[in-house]
Amino acid sequence: MPRPANPLVRERLLAAGLELIHTNGFNGCGIKEITDSAGVPKGSFYSYFASKEDFAVAVLEHYWASIDRDFGFHLRDASRPPVDRVTAFFSALTDHNARRGFALGCLVGNMSLELADHSAQVREKLDHIMDRWTGLIAACLRDAQASGDLPGGASPEELAYAIVEAWEGAVMQGRIGQRRVAYDRFATVALPRLLGVPAPSVK
């Protein structure tokens, strides 16, 4: 009789896979490399994931859960003005990427470029993550409209997508140069213009 799946083993596989895929890309790491990094037998991989593609979907969900856990509180902080919540969220993400030398980029963007054309399953997960991400930002923007800090004619949902799209472009450029110039441009040019607020000075 097979042993029941161990959620701790699954978590170790996801943590190892996230690090390897974020560093080397989905096609740049194999299942054995993932299981070796997680410290589990290669054969146990299929006790938790039907395929490597299924694993990619789970890694993306694991990644988004970590972003939401570690940074999403900025967007939900009702004690701060809603526009400040949005800028604080992206500032915290910038600091996070700086700790890795801006070399890894955003896994959502990376996987979009690598797999969206080849896997409907991964594309659906990426689309779902984008909906959740922009939904959190749009909620802040609706609050900003209600308080008069954002013009009422703008669609919060469309504006949220424009903000994330500008962010992903900055992250990609930052990864190319492995420096923060594009992040600062996002913070001082793109985001203030999209939000209709004065541009902050660069630290």
Average of pLDDT values for 113-122?
A: 92
Q: Inter-axis angle of helices 7-24 and 31-38, to 10 degrees?
A: 120
Domain encompassing residue 162: 52-195
- Identify whether 203 is part of a domain: no
138: tokens are 């749009």
189 and 102 co-located in one domain? yes
Check residue 4 and give its pLDDT: 56
83 and 36 co-located in one domain? no
What b/e sequence results for 125-151 when a residue is b if at least 16 CB atoms lie within 10 Å of its CB, and e otherwise? bbeebbeebbebbbbbbbbbbeeebbe
Per-residue pLDDT reduced to its tens digit, 37-69: 999 999 889 999 999 999 999 999 999 999 999
The percent of residues above 70 in pLDDT, for the chain, comes to 96
Residues 6+ apart with CB under 8 A from 57: 121, 122, 125
Per-residue pLDDT reduced to its tens digit, 168-199: 999 999 999 999 999 999 999 999 999 988 87
Reported in sequence order, the residue ranges of 11-80 that DSSP labels E, i.e. its strands, are none
Reported in sequence order, the residue ranges of the chain that DSSP labels E, i.e. its strands, are none
Average of pLDDT values for 142-159?
A: 91
Check residue 2 and give its pLDDT: 45
1 and 31 co-located in one domain? yes
- Identify whether 181 is part of a domain: yes
38 and 59 co-located in one domain? no
17 and 69 co-located in one domain? no
